[in-house]
Amino acid sequence: MAYYFRLGQIPPKRHTQFRQPDGSLYKEELVSSKGFSGIYSNLYHIYNPNEVKSIGTPKPFSWEPAKAHGLNQTHLKTSGVDTTGEDYLSARRMLMMNNDVMMGICSPRQRKMDYYFKNADGDELIYIHDGEGVLYSQFGKLEVKKGDYVVIPRTTIYRFEFAEEGPLRLLVIESHGPIETVKRYRNEVGQLLEHSPYCERDIRPPHELHIEREKGDYLVQIKKQGFLHQYSYGHSPLDIVGWDGYLYPYALSIHDFEPITGRIHQPPPVHQTFQAWGFVICSFVPRLFDYHPLAIPAPYNHSNIDSDEVLYYAEGEFMSRKGIDRGSFTIHMGGLPHGPHPGTVEKSIGAKETHEYAVMLDTHRPLFITTDALEFVDKNYPMSWTE
């Protein structure tokens, strides 16, 4: 993130004495990116963050690409999925992957985590498709709700508590590189520019500290290189009395993304919301259609020569697609043209607006579906343009 934030008690100067009521020192921790040259935050602990009580046996936690899927336009029929597993981690089903990014779904039966999670491999973006709850982390309490993108920097220690009532459906994206606001939306000091489709007012950092002082048994599961490493501590990792900096989890609602429109059909980059190494994330939201007198609102046919395109259909009806339901994915692979289904182009002419919501992932390198995704593949989709 590109703006400074602080919560709780911090000393006037970094790396100086900051004492607890009993006279002992608070334990300062620098959480930094890109060594010491990226964004960072300074956190102040009651207890020493290095005090490990025990280390358990690592548990495998990885996905494999499906080798025999081939070059096919793909529809993953995940709309009817109710729950995908018991808890937040076992319910993760990554459906697409390459060396830069993984994307999948998560609908756990358990709404509260009885452990903490740290992703030491990558940044995470959690899109709250259905549900609401609270993200608790070292940085404090962040309330999240339907339509939120929740950006969680790598190594953040956190747990979710979701509301017990109603559906819970999460879209999970894990990035090998940092997930950032879009560079062309920022000025030279990082402030979001006037033409940006969202601004700092729309970005919600944690709004209050959540200090857990009690000692006991606290499990942190750390994802690293295909395993969940089991670290037990005698105190909570959420023992922070204050912090400041530029690195922290935050939420941005898709409902606060302001669409950019024009006289003729605008290309997908106008919908870009985040950037990362090897991919971008875009938001399709309700908007007025093109206003040229001969405009065609439906998108034109497109050949990806150097990227793969994924659409996750969140709400509404996409006028260019038939037979795609809420909560499904389409994957249009580089090397093949894709475009509107037959009849949808003529049908779109004269339409004034759309009420759709979708999340798009565009990768710069080939994307592969995983073995977990095979059960959801719509085998008829590659031939659906002949119907």
Q: What is the pLDDT of residues 180-218, one digit of tens each?
A: 999 999 999 999 999 999 999 999 999 999 999 999 999
195: annotated binding-site residue? Answer: no
Sign, CA torsion 180/181/185/191: negative
pLDDT of amino acid 320: 66
Lowest-confidence segment of 136-140, 303-307, 319-323 by average pLDDT: 319-323
Question: Is residue 295 packed enough to be buried (19+ CB in 10 Å), middle (13-18) or exposed (0-12)?
Answer: middle
pLDDT at 319 over 90: no
Q: Considering the domain delimited by 5-62+93-254, tell me its CATH architecture.
A: Sandwich (2.60)
308: annotated binding-site residue? Answer: yes
Nearest by Cα to 102 from 378, 363, 332, 382 = 363
Chain-wide mean pLDDT for the chain? 95
Asked if 366 contacts 69 with a C-beta cutoff of 8 angstroms, the reply is no
pLDDT band at 322 (very low <50, low <70, confident <90, very high): confident
DSSP 326: T
pLDDT band at 323 (very low <50, low <70, confident <90, very high): confident
- What's the average model confidence in pLDDT over 276-292? 96
Lowest-confidence segment of 35-39, 176-180, 321-325 by average pLDDT: 321-325
pLDDT band at 1 (very low <50, low <70, confident <90, very high): low
- What's the average model confidence in pLDDT over 273-293? 96
pLDDT of amino acid 58: 98
- What's the average model confidence in pLDDT over 207-236? 97
- What's the average model confidence in pLDDT over 96-102? 98
Provide the pairing of β-strand 215-224 with 116-119: parallel
Of 69, 176, 255, 265, the active-site residue reads: 265
Partner residues linked to 360 by β-bridges: 282, 311
Q: Considering the domain delimited by 256-383, tell me its CATH architecture.
A: Sandwich (2.60)
Report the C-alpha gap between 224 and 154 in whole angstroms: 11
pLDDT band at 68 (very low <50, low <70, confident <90, very high): confident
302: annotated binding-site residue? Answer: yes
- Residue 268 has φ and ψ, to the nearest 5°, of -55, -30
Report the C-alpha gap between 180 and 118 in whole angstroms: 19
- Collapse the DSSP code of 327 into the 3-class scheme (helix H, G, I; strand E, B; otherwise coil) and give the result: coil
Q: What percent of the chain stands above pLDDT 70? A: 99
**Structure-token pair, residue 374:** 């095979």
In the chain, where does the domain assigned CATH 2.60.120.10 lie? 5-62+93-254, 256-383
Report the C-alpha gap between 281 and 100 in whole angstroms: 13
- Residue 355 annotated among the catalytic residues of the structure: no
pLDDT of amino acid 304: 84
User: Which H or E run includes 385?
Assistant: none
Write the CA distances from 262 to 118, 234, 291, 371, 373, integer angstroms: 42, 58, 7, 41, 37
**Structure-token pair, residue 196:** 């940006």
pLDDT of amino acid 294: 96
- What's the average model confidence in pLDDT over 72-78? 95
Asked if 42 contacts 48 with a C-beta cutoff of 8 angstroms, the reply is no
pLDDT band at 141 (very low <50, low <70, confident <90, very high): very high
pLDDT band at 305 (very low <50, low <70, confident <90, very high): confident
Query: What pTM value is reported for the model?
Result: 0.96
Report the C-alpha gap between 112 and 162 in whole angstroms: 6
